[in-house]
Structure formats: structure tokens, C-alpha cells
Amino acid sequence: MRKKHLLTVSVISLIIRQALFAFELQSGKIQSQYTLQISYNGKVPPTFATHLVIRPYLPIQSVHIDSPLIKITTDQPFGLTEHYYLDSGSEKSLFLMPDGILDSLFSDKKLGYEIKDGKIFFRLFAPRAKWVRLILFNHYDDQTGEEFFMQRDSQGVWEAQFSYPNPYRFYGYRLWGPEGEGEMFDSTLVLADPYSPAVVTQNHYTHPGKTHLISENQFDWQGDTWQTIAWNDLIIYEMHVRDMTAHPSSTLKDKSQAGSYLGLIQPEQKGGLPYLTSLGINAVELLPAQDFGNLEVPFKDPTAPVYNTWNPYERNHWGYMTSYFFAPESYYASRGNMLPAQYNGTDAQQIDEFKTMVKTLHQNRIAVLMDVVYNHVSQYDYNPLKYIDKFYYFRLNDDCSFTSVSGCGNDLKTERPMTRRLIVDSVIHWLKEYHIDGFRFDLAHLIDWKTIDHIREEAQKIHPGVILIAEPWGGGYNPDKFSDHQWASWNDQIRNGVKGQNPYDGLGFIFGKWQGENNRKSLRRFVQGSLRTMGGQYLKSAHSINYLESHDDHTLGDFIRIGLKDVSPQDKISDLNKHVKLTATQLKINKLAALFLFASQGPVMIHAGQEFARSKVIAPTSVLDPDVGKIDHNSYNKDNETNWLNYTHADLNRELLDYYRELICLRLEHEAFRYSRPEDFKFFHTTDSLFLAFQIDYKKNKYIVLLNGNNQREQKFSLPDGKWKILVDPQVITNQSKKTIKRSSITLSPSSGMILMQ
């Protein structure tokens, strides 16, 4: 027994000693021509440096240990086209990932193609490529073309030049680079240019494309320029180009234009531009309209590169999978289609048609903002950045796989100098070439702060009034810092406070569920613009994009239907019109939400259809979707009546639609709801924290706003001395000349609001 005990003690001692000296190399990164950095776990063995060998062989000059990193310098430079490994005496070699060494490369040469002095120049930044070939094509569907070798300069830009004009109309690249861990170089692929101004694409989940060769565009802008709208004056309508006119109820005469750039601006229809102008908004925010991967991998196809169990529609409808940052989406142009193996954008018509759309919206005093996605690229397509240099353009894990903080499979390394340049060049391109008035940046917290500043600085040189809006999350949450950097951002705090975080057990003010002193303080902060001096996020109210609904999650109308338990997400809707038509209670709560939104300081955003309590019920177009007939909270994949605006439903809820129209008019007419300062507010004491009552003294006018979130209790309010006119009551919004109050107090019914003016 004693011998066994001693053996056990010996084994334990050995394990302890091994644990103390446990040592593991985690990752290695080449940071410059002569240095690499190793991260490790454990304690570095005393003889570690004597066992180090770099393959292919480079003589080591020094090894410096500074836990948890080891810095190694070499006598000879690392090459960019080679894979290097570190042998340390263990069984496994460590791959040395090219990292900081790539940041030393930068070029200000014009990339893409350039026509100048009777020549055409092609330039591609591909820093680690071993060779690049330019391929010129006569026709968009040519399988082969004329190939030409390109020459590399010292900063990684490959170039070729020819006399101009020439007979070619399309081009692409083939290239090859280092082999080994994580590489995606494929010399069989023809890649369109990442700087393509227009791309012809084939309908397939790989989204193969060729770049159009276009001489200088001769579009007639007819004197058009940017709309300059002060941020506080913005009333933004977030919308999808196709959804605005794809439904038959839009009544387009030319059905072939349904869902297109040109269809949107046709004057004789119920939807599109006439609907927007009648609503009175002054800005539209287009869901992504940069060329994107429309198709996802086939549903439950074992031969596909990824086994798709989540998307029976095999579609990406919203567009948050950008393929080409400089090119308009061609599906929304004339003859756009999604027929298998067919082509879109064959004549580059998307360029002029997009410009025509912008010009026409401007002529109607509507600014055009674009929702842009610079935090990741399309996951399944032949996005050129993935195949030109994965290690340069993307954030990678230690095993060389893409990081996916975005949730979309591949995160752009925006901090790389030439990635930053690509993003800024893209923004400038849309400002100059398309007269875009501003941008909303998807998952903007994934973009580094230096790039955020550079975007603002360069964009303001072009258009000083450019509108910059961040979605202030993605691997973190920081609306405060975006405000510090002079960006606006989506205010999810007012969204969650007013309507709630979810319609099940997280209901907010309009449902009478969010009570107490914290509630009272938050409500006051929201209506004053969520200012930092009040405990909010923003330096100024112009930075607070106030909204209650966006393309994400349930519509506000459905949130209210579910929150009231009038419908369950598991219910299958058999009578769509009956479901859409608002009940008296649903109408009251929708109105209260709208009134709170439009009475708050800061730019306003509404999502398409919010103004008539749009419901997204899954349309019966896919027999593979078991949820057909249910309410959808994430309709990103449905190019069908689930997403298309049904203007018949707008008629069904005409009272709410008119209420929104008049709120928009009221807000634009009365500066007090856009430019009041905290000192202009006076909050009345109320015993019920769900009853918010305040006065705004703005210049020579006085306003009283009453918001009763209590769904059980009416509220009596004593009016200050003087004559008061009702601008908004629970039923209607009136002209200033009507409905003067002569009594000393008024009573608010449950879940209702009012605005009065002295």
C-alpha cells in the first residue's frame, strides 16, 4: 500500500511540474519585413530560443520575451508571396500569418480602370499575388477572352495599359498567390474588379460577374445637386427599392417596371413617388442598393458548399451581402430578373436609371440616403476581395478562418490602409457620381474609428451637409462615441423605452408596462433628444435618430398586435385583410407611439408601411416554408408579398395613415419639435409615471404635450392660464385655426396623447 501511495505522489508531482512549465504557441504574425510576433500560453522553456527555426530559412537575429508575446527579429526580410513557419522543437510547426507587414503598403494610384490621354489603364491592388492577368471580353457571356499579364509596382498595385478606344466591352482578372493555410487564391476564377462602376452578373449563388468598360458617363443631371437638409429637420423613410412598387396595388401602368428604379419614380401610380410625396417625408433611406449577392445556396442540397437548412427561398432580398461597393444593384434596373443562369445589367443600364431615380427624388425635394454595408461582404459569392487577398482584406481567427462578429461569415479588416481607402473611395464615388445625400452604415461599430473619421472628413469635403448615420453596434455598442466623432446613430433606447424590447415580456410605455421613476426620467430624456447632459448618449439632439421600427424584427404594427395578445406569432392568418385592419385599441396605441416619436427632439425615421401598421404575414409562395401564414419577424429572404407594400392595406388603415401625414406636416411646420433646448422644457408633476406632461417655450410660442401611456386610467390635466388651441387630439390632427379650448382642464383617455399651442 505504501509503495502504491508513493507512486501516486510521484505522478502528481510530475503533473504539477508539467503544468508549471506547460507551454503552447497560439499564433504567429509577421508584423514587418524583419519582425514577427508570437502569442503563447504557459511558461516559456529556458531553451526555447535555441530551438527556433523559420522555414523557409531566415536567420534569427534576436528573441525578446514580453509575456504574453514573443518578438522575433530576423536578419533577412520576409517576403509577401511566401508562407512561413516557425519550428520550436515541438511536433507541430506554427504558421506565421502575414499581418502588420501588410499595413506598410499603400498606393494613391487610381484603381479600377482609367481612360486618359488616349490610353486605358487597368489597376488592381493585390499585394501578395504571384501573378495577375487581365482578361478582356467582347460579350458579357463569353467564356474566354484575351489575356494579358500585368506588372506589379512596389506597393502591390498591378497595372496594364492599352490604346483607347478598343473593341472590348467587359473585363475581369485571374490571379494566383501563395498556397497553404487559409488561402483562397483560385487561378480558374475570373473576378470582376472590386472598383467596378457597373457589373453584369449571372443568377447563381456564386454571383459570377464581369466589369463593364464604360467611357465617360454623359448623364444629364439638369443642374441637380445634393439636397441640403439640417439633420434635425430630417424625416427619413426607410424603404426597399423593389418593395415600394412590386405589389400590384401600386398600380403601375407599365408592369415591367414593377420593383425597379424607374418604377419607383413613375408619376401615375398609387405607390412609389406619388405615395412618398403625399406622405410628406423629406428623405428616403434605401435598403442596400450596391450590387449584392441576391441568391443563397440551394436549400438542403448536400452538394452545396454549405448545407442550407435555414432559407427555403434561397434568396437574400434585403441586400445586406454586398458584392461590389461602387456598382448599383442591377436587379432593380430594366429587365431585372432572377431566372436561373440569366444575366442582369447587361447594358449597364443600372447606372443611368439609378441616377434618374435620384434626380427625380431630388426634384421632389426628397433627399436620398443609402444603407451601406462595409463591415462584411457577401458570404457565398465570388466576391473579389476574398480571392484577391483574404489575409489583407479580412479579420481572421488564429486558424486563418474568417471572423464573424457581424454574424455574416466574414468581417472586413477596415483598419488596413487600402481597405480604408476602398471604403472612403466608395463613399466619395456615390457622392460625386450619384449625388447621394448621406449614408447609414450597417453594424458601424465594426468599422475602426480612424476610418470613421476619415469617412466624415473626406465626405464633407465633397458635400459639407452630408448625412452620416451609424448603426452603433456590432461587436460592441457605443452611440456615445459616434456622437463624439460627429456622427448620428440609431437610438435604440427610445425604441425600446417607447414600444418595448420585445412583444412578449418586454413591453414599453405605450402598453402601460414601463413604470417608476426610472421610466419618468427616461421619458423626459427621450423627448429632449437623449442628450448626454440628461443621462443620454448624444452631444446634440441632431445625433439621435429616433425610430420605433426598422427593417429588422417585427413591424411596429405587428409588435402592437402581438403585445396586446390579439394574435400569436404561432397563429396562421387565414383572413389577411381582417388581420391587418386595426382594432380601436390597436389604432390608439399606434397613434400614441407615433405622437411620442414626432414630439421628440432629434431626426425621425419611420420604416415603410409603419404609417399604416403594416403587417408582414408570410406569403404562400414557398411550399417548403412551414411558417407560411404566420407573422414574420425577419423577412430578409422573401422577394414576395411578405415584404412588398400593399397599398390596399394603407386604405384599410386610412385613419392612421392620415395621422402620420399630419404629424409630419405638424413637425415640419413647428420648429419647436426640432430645435428646442433643454431649458425650453418645463415638465409638469404627475402622480402617474406613465403620464408625461410638458411645456415647450420656443421663441414666442408655447406648446403643451400630453402623453398618457396608462392603458387603464384617464388623466385630468389643468391647463395654464391663456387660450389654447388643440393641434393634436386622440382622434385627429387639426389646423391651427380650429378647436380653441375655453375650459381650464382637459381629460385624456387611456393610451392617448395631445398637443396644444397657446
Domain spans in the chain, listed from the N-terminal domain onward:
23-103, 104-212, 230-290+325-366, 677-757
Question: What is the Cα–Cα distance from 482 to 457, expressed in whole angstroms?
Answer: 14
Structure confidence at residue 67 as a pLDDT band (50, 70, 90): confident
The dihedral sign for the CA sequence 623, 625, 626, 628: negative
What integer pLDDT is reported at residue 738 of this predicted model? 58
Residue 687: partners with Cβ closer than 8 Å, 6 or more residues away: none
Q: Residue 721 pLDDT > 70, yes or no?
A: yes
Residue 717: strand, helix, or coil: strand
Cα–Cα nearest to 413, from 450, 443, 468, 376: 376
Laid out side by side, the sheet with 724-728 consists of 681-683, 691-698, 701-708, 752-757, 724-728, 740-741
Q: DSSP assignment, residue 583?
A: P
Confidence of residue 175 (pLDDT cuts 50, 70, 90): very high
**Topology annotation, domain 104-212:** Immunoglobulin-like (2.60.40)
How does DSSP classify residue 243?
T
The mean per-residue pLDDT over the stretch 140-159 comes to 97
Return the bridge partners of 370, or none: 286, 439
Task: Report, as an integer, the average pLDDT of 326-345.
Answer: 97
**d(Cα 328, Cα 325) in Å, to the nearest integer?**
8
d(CA 350, CA 49): 60
Amino acid symbol at 130: K
Asked if 162 and 119 touch (Cβ cutoff 8 Å), the reply is yes
Helix (H, G, I), strand (E, B) or coil at 445: helix
pLDDT in tens, 632-688: 999 999 999 999 999 999 999 999 999 999 999 999 999 999 999 999 999 999 999
Do β-strands 94-98 and 23-30 pair in parallel, antiparallel, or remain unpaired? parallel
Q: Helices 272-279 and 349-363 sit at what angle, rounded to 10 degrees?
A: 30
SS3 339: coil
Please tell me if the domain spanning 23-103 has the same topology as the one spanning 104-212.
yes
pLDDT of the residue at 18: 45
pLDDT of 319 > 70? The answer is yes
Give the integer Cα–Cα distance in Å for 561 and 568.
8
Place of cell 382637459: 746
**Residue 673 or 19, more confident:** 673
Instruction: Check: CB of residue 209 under 8 Å from CB of residue 382.
Output: yes
pLDDT greater than 50 at residue 113 = yes
Give per-residue pLDDT as tens, 577-609. 999 999 999 999 999 999 999 999 999 999 999
The contacts of residue 351 (CB under 8 Å, 6+ apart) are 197, 198, 214, 217, 219, 328
Segment 289-308 shows an average pLDDT of 95
CATH architecture of 677-757: Sandwich (2.60)
Residue 32 has pLDDT above 90, yes or no: yes
Cα distances from 680 to residues 430, 601, 701, in angstroms, run 39, 12, 11
Q: What are phi and psi of 98, to 5 degrees?
A: -70, 125
Give me the count of residues in the chain.
Answer: 758
Q: Is the pLDDT of residue 284 over 90?
A: yes
d(CA 51, CA 86): 10
Using the predicted structure, report yes or no on whether residue 1 has a pLDDT greater than 50.
no
pLDDT, average across residues 262-269 = 97
What pLDDT is recorded for position 15?
44
Q: Please check the confidence at residue 223 and state whether its pLDDT lies above 70.
A: yes
Average pLDDT over residues 557-584: 97
Half-sphere exposure of residue 669, counting CA atoms within 13 Å on the CB side? 12
Whole-number pLDDT of residue 711: 95
**From the CB of residue 697, how many other CB atoms can be counted at a distance below 10 Å?**
15
Distance separating alpha carbons of residues 234 and 224, to the nearest angstrom? 20
Q: Which of 485, 522, 481 is nearest to 500 (CA)?
A: 522
The secondary element (H helix, E strand) that includes residue 457 is helix 449-462
Contact 120, 108 (CB under 8 A): no
Is the pLDDT at 91 greater than 80? The verdict is no
What average pLDDT does range 94-107 have in this prediction? 96
The pLDDT of residue 254 is above 70: yes
Give CA torsion, residues 263, 267, 268, 274, to 10 deg: 90
Least Cα distance to 719 among 699, 753, 745 occurs for 745
Of all helices (H) and strands (E), which one includes residue 706?
Answer: strand 701-708
Task: Say if residues 75 and 68 touch (Cβ distance below 8 Å).
Answer: no
Look at strands 438-441 and 367-372 and give their pairing.
parallel
Q: Which residues pair with 462 in a beta bridge?
A: none
Angle between helices 272-279 and 654-669 (to 10 degrees): 60
Residue 331 and residue 123: Cα distance in Å, rounded? 27
Degrees, nearest 5: CA angle 568-571-576? 105
Cβ contacts of residue 680 below 8 Å, gap of 6+? Answer: 672, 696, 697, 698
Task: State pLDDT tens for residues 177-193.
Answer: 999 999 999 999 999 99
From 494, 513, 616, select the one nearest 563 (Cα to Cα). Answer: 513
Judge whether 191 and 173 are in contact, CB under 8 Å: yes
Query: How much is the pLDDT for 515?
Result: 77
pLDDT per position as a tens digit, 518-562: 789 999 999 999 999 999 999 999 999 999 999 999 999 999 999
Give 23-103's CATH code, choosing from 3.40.1620.10, 2.60.40.1130, 2.160.20.10, 2.40.50.140: 2.60.40.1130
Mean pLDDT of 352-357: 98
Q: How far is CA 198 from the centre of its chain?
A: 21
Q: Are strands 467-470 and 488-491 parallel, antiparallel or unpaired?
A: parallel
Q: Mean of the pLDDT values across residues 279-293?
A: 98
Average pLDDT for the chain? 94
pLDDT at 754 over 80: yes
Q: What confidence score (pLDDT) does residue 735 get?
A: 54
Residues 6+ apart with CB under 8 A from 540: 483, 529, 531
CB 362 within 8 A of CB 227: yes
The model's confidence at residue 758, banded by pLDDT at 50, 70 and 90, is very high
* Torsion of the alpha carbons at 714, 718, 720 and 722, rounded to the nearest 10: 90
pTM for the predicted model, two decimal places: 0.95
Tell whether the model's pLDDT for residue 258 goes beyond 60: yes
> DSSP 3-state helix, strand, coil percentages of the chain (rounded to 5)?
25, 25, 50
Residue 119: band (very low, low, confident or very high) from pLDDT cuts 50, 70, 90? very high
Buried b / exposed e over 26-38, threshold 16 CB at 10 Å, is ebbbbbbebbbbb
Residue with cell 460625386: 432
Buried residues in 590-619 as b, exposed as e (16+ CB within 10 A): bbbbbbbbbbbbbbbbbbbbbbbbbbbbbb
Distance CA 59, CA 214 (A): 51
The set of cell numbers assigned to 45 is 522553456
Tracing cell 470613421 back to the chain, one arrives at 452
